Structure 1
Amino acid sequence: MTQQSESTKTTSTGKGTSRNTTSTTTRAEEDADDSASSSVQAEPRPQAGRLPAFAPLGPLEPLDPLEPLEPLDPLAPVTEPAELRPPGAPRLWPRSFASRLTAPLPGLKAFARFAREGAVRPGPEGLADIPRLPFEPGPLPRVDARTVAVSWAGHASWVVRIGGLTVLTDPVWSRRILGTPARITPVGVAWSALPRVDAVVISHNHYDHLDAPTLRRLPRDTPVFVPAGLARWFRRRRFTRITELDWWEGVELGGVRFDFVPAHHWSKRGLLDTCRTLWGGWVLTARDGQRVYFAGDTGYGHWFSRIGRRYPGIDLALLPIGAYDPRWWLSDVHCDPEEAVRAAQDLGAHRMAPMHWGTFVLSAEPVLEPLTRVRAAWQKAGLAREDLWDLPVGASRVLA
């Protein structure tokens, strides 16, 4: 979603606090949340140049003041991942994670400019390329415990096969999410084609990443790994195997390690819950050391190089390249294509797979522009073309 100009800010671990996370979400808001997405079945593509109107959320409520927390020094040398935490362990969290922001949230002046300029989606010319968006659904590849494969269902939703597990990232199989037009490409992987889902990872609570109708389709004993403060949302929906993690914490399932890492973003789902839950990305590491990084939603900044130092040898980075225009409004929380390529280099990733484009119209850039720009930026950086996995929606690649 949105944020404003970048600044560096000291982060905090949230450890040692004595306050439970407090939710201000009402029952009515949660009911609306569950019904916000109309259907999880894909429809034919919309016609070029035609989309319904989009209305952004209003100004953000003031953030609660935070008690000082134990600081996490972002400049401290890091060479090893942290010790593993027990899955499902109950946690205590601060009331707000506003101290983790790396840039201030937009205020009334920014919202006034946003409303005045009306730059929320492309014009007819920018939408004309909808029929050209790459969509090539195919069967999921056959894999074994030594194989890593990814299949792009669209937006930030991936089917990741690693270490013998099937993991869904930010699964959104719905046709529509709250506050946005319907998908402009169908879901790339049919729900019926999925193997048993061994785990789900969630990056943050925005509606285009946390979709209640999709998650309702999963067995309630599916292991779910979520940011700090988000377990309550899943408990309300009767999930029973929920693990909340802070930044730099990890958990293991079936021999695969799941580490939650920082991102330049924020969280908000209702009217009064700004930054009440954490946000971040995930590093998945198999027993044999094969490693996949899923960024979730993020702007460009210092975290990428630090993630790369702590988790060296990332084989594949799944990085967002869309929803970036206008830059004055979105630069702090959404990478543009050139920044995504720089992020892959900062991470030391061997390969990059673009995501977070070509599915939902969330901003003003032409719908095909993220793909053309990321290809140009990759070439300009002198990187090997075969290491840019610019997959069509529905396509898969296997890590050789």
Structure 2
Amino acid sequence: MARDSLAGVLMSGPVRPAPHPAREWPPSFADRLAAPLPRFRDVMRLMWSVPSRAPLGDADRIPVLRTGLQPVRSTDTALTWVGHATYLVRTGGVSVLTDPVWSTRIPGVPRRLTPPGVAFGDLPAGTASVPGDYGDEEDSQPVDAVVISHNHYDHLDAPTIARLPSSTPVLVPAGLGDWFRRRRFSEVVELDWWETAEVAGLTFDFVPAQHWSRRGVRDTCRSLWGGWVITGPDGRRLYHAGDSGYGPHFAEIGRRLPGIDVAMVPIGAYAPRWFMRPVHMDPEEAVRAVADLGAARAAGMHWGTFALTSEPVLEPLTRFRAAWREAGRDPAELWDLAIGETRVLPA
């Protein structure tokens, strides 16, 4: 949609419905686009003008701290970066996975550059853990909830989803619920922007992002995209942006849902800018987004795992750190995590 239309959505009143599996959605969410999708000639220009993927010579310098999952107390709020947009969030004694991807490969891109920071079998058992579909320990419920930002393959990974028991609660954008129901998931909550659900004692707000969706050749924008604000019983508030270009929605999220303790923001897959700007932030824009959100801390993601675009593999991290310094932010508030690293919010 045009920016004035996006602003109209942002300024509409808050909605708190009772989500229901049978909700009907429009056939397309293309009216939520902030900019037109690339045309065929834009794609051809991209293919001919720049390398389609980053040089991988520095991939072995991507920081990885794969030493096992750090235990935390039930009263702690902790983030562990598994890789790409996958975080393990532990707050209020509850475990949540964001955009889980454990696969070595996803369609259309080279093999994973770095291993998942946490082995899937090492995920903490959910507080409502139940026997798995096949009765073995690995298939017991590893987490209390899963949130999905949108349906692109680097955020919605079918082989990883297949490892979760069908009883796992999943919170997804509008229009994406049937994908999970076809896979026999029984606890599926679909939300539109600014809608809210409660699972396992946590509050989940689905918030706007400047992006798009597609999984096949005929489903462009048939499901929505967005980010998640997770609020724990102690009031600790975490934001996961999913994928997003920079836009006015960040300030609106900060206004409606103030007091964000940590913002997980994408800092990679931004080159070339003429092509990626509408849908992917660069590191400098990510720092601006954190300021707009009013977030106390930033945690980077969406880099160092898959070579999606043409920027050097280490550049997102170096630019993110530099932009944070130039903004005058406290270095301790920048959670520039290694893959597999856990950081705990101070009491």
Normalised to the residue count of structure 1, the TM-score between the two structures is: 0.80
Residue of structure 2 equivalent to 1:90: 22
Residue of structure 2 equivalent to 1:172: 101
Residue of structure 2 equivalent to 1:209: 155
User: Does residue 99 of structure 2 align to residue 153 of structure 1?
Assistant: no
- Quick one: distance in 2 between partners of 1:267 and 1:352? 25
Residue of structure 1 equivalent to 2:212: 266
Tell me which of 43, 56, 59 is aligned to 1:130.
59
- For residues 324-369 of structure 1, give each alpha carbon's deviation from its aligned partner in whole angstroms, at most 9, with x where no partner exists: 0000110110010000000000000000000000000000000000
User: Does residue 318 of structure 2 align to residue 372 of structure 1?
Assistant: yes
- For residues 216-255 of structure 1, give each alpha carbon's deviation from its aligned partner in whole angstroms, at most 9, with x where no partner exists: 0011010000000001111111111100000000100122
Matched residue of 2:151: which SS? coil
Residue of structure 2 equivalent to 1:105: 37
- Quick one: distance in 1 between partners of 2:45 and 2:196? 41
* Matched ranges for 1:282-301 at <5 A: 282-301=228-247
* Matched ranges for 1:242-257 at <5 A: 242-257=188-203
Shift of 1:7: 5.2
CA RMSD, Structure 1 to Structure 2 (Å): 1.5
- Quick one: distance in 1 between partners of 2:42 and 2:51? 12
Is the Cα–Cα contact under 8 Å of residues 88 and 241 in structure 1 kept in the other structure?
A: no
- Quick one: distance in 2 between partners of 1:387 and 1:217? 34
Residue of structure 2 equivalent to 1:331: 277
Is the Cα–Cα contact under 8 Å of residues 9 and 101 in structure 1 kept in the other structure?
A: no
Residue of structure 1 equivalent to 2:49: 117
User: Does residue 181 of structure 2 align to residue 235 of structure 1?
Assistant: yes
Is the Cα–Cα contact under 8 Å of residues 87 and 242 in structure 1 kept in the other structure?
A: no
Shift of 1:87: 4.9
Residue of structure 2 equivalent to 1:357: 303
- For residues 90-119 of structure 1, give each alpha carbon's deviation from its aligned partner in whole angstroms, at most 9, with x where no partner exists: 211000000000011001220221122243
Matched residue of 1:10: which SS? helix
- Quick one: distance in 2 between partners of 1:193 and 1:349? 30
- Quick one: distance in 1 between partners of 2:270 and 2:3? 20
More off after superposition, 111-120 vs 174-183? 111-120
Is the Cα–Cα contact under 8 Å of residues 299 and 336 in structure 2 kept in the other structure?
A: yes
Matched residue of 2:79: which SS? strand
Is the Cα–Cα contact under 8 Å of residues 86 and 100 in structure 2 kept in the other structure?
A: yes
The amino acid that maps onto 1:133 is I
- Quick one: distance in 2 between partners of 1:120 and 1:156? 21
- Quick one: distance in 2 between partners of 1:194 and 1:397? 16
Tell me which of 169, 187, 191 is aligned to 2:120.
191
Residue of structure 2 equivalent to 1:315: 261
Residue of structure 2 equivalent to 1:304: 250
The amino acid that maps onto 2:51 is A
User: Does residue 14 of structure 2 align to residue 8 of structure 1?
Assistant: no
- For residues 28-63 of structure 1, give each alpha carbon's deviation from its aligned partner in whole angstroms, at most 9, with x where no partner exists: xxxxxxxxxxxxxxxxxxxxxxxxxxxxxxxxxxxx
The amino acid that maps onto 1:99 is D
Residue of structure 1 equivalent to 2:171: 225
Residue of structure 1 equivalent to 2:139: none
Residue of structure 1 equivalent to 2:10: 74
The amino acid that maps onto 1:316 is V
For structure 2, the residue ranges without an aligned partner over 5 or more in a row are: 126-142
Is the Cα–Cα contact under 8 Å of residues 141 and 149 in structure 1 kept in the other structure?
A: no
- Quick one: distance in 1 between partners of 2:20 and 2:279? 29
Matched residue of 2:268: which SS? coil
Residue of structure 2 equivalent to 1:24: none
More off after superposition, 267-276 vs 106-115? 106-115
- For residues 366-397 of structure 1, give each alpha carbon's deviation from its aligned partner in whole angstroms, at most 9, with x where no partner exists: 00000000000000000000000000001100
For structure 1, the residue ranges without an aligned partner over 5 or more in a row are: 1-5, 13-71
Shift of 1:146: 2.5
- For residues 178-223 of structure 1, give each alpha carbon's deviation from its aligned partner in whole angstroms, at most 9, with x where no partner exists: 0110111111100111012100000000000000000100110100
Matched residue of 2:78: which SS? strand
Residue of structure 2 equivalent to 1:383: 329
The amino acid that maps onto 1:161 is R
Is the Cα–Cα contact under 8 Å of residues 318 and 355 in structure 1 kept in the other structure?
A: yes
Identity %: 58
